Structure 1
């Protein structure tokens, strides 16, 4: 059984390892706890069978007003295909709604469009500037 936690405690190492696996890069210690507490409206962690280490995560950034943004949606490879990603995004939307946000935004690669459509997102035009 998967449980979801809004704004729960985060183990920097465990979350960094999950991020490295999900986005296929080497582990980087970015200090998740401090980053989330300092810059996010909230975040959701998914835990499988009561284990402490998360099997999923999503960050919800915001503008301090009515716009929230889904970032870093990730699910461990071993548990993909079980609806955990959709569960994370649903709870992120609920948290943003509870904070009186009116809009939830997400940017994604084209191959992720079916996933985000299943989460209720509608495609919109957007702009992007590469800074580095």
Structure 2
């Protein structure tokens, strides 16, 4: 098992940013899939109303695992889901690993683009 943190996406928050990774979870809080797209798709509802109709989660990007697990996951072959989304955690899911998710209220600051880095540098964070 691996573990990671996720946060509920608030009503009105941006879902379409591909740099904000989304995750869907099972009832036991194991991750089912990570995507750069809004998941799940909420049918027959305008996209700007989705966060009011379904609980969406974004991935914080922090992991917990045993040392031996790190050695295992770094040797796994890259799969089609990781290639499609460019998200390493989908490689782990494709290879049968479980990723337990814990919900946090903490808002993390992601550095995924040159603009993000400039914003962090400007704010001295």
TM class by shorter-chain length?
A: under 0.3
Q: TM-score, normalised by structure 2?
A: 0.26
Structure richer in helix, relative to its length:
1
Of structures 1 and 2, the one scoring higher in RCO (CA 8 A, sep 6+) is 2
Give the structure with higher Rg (CA). Answer: 2
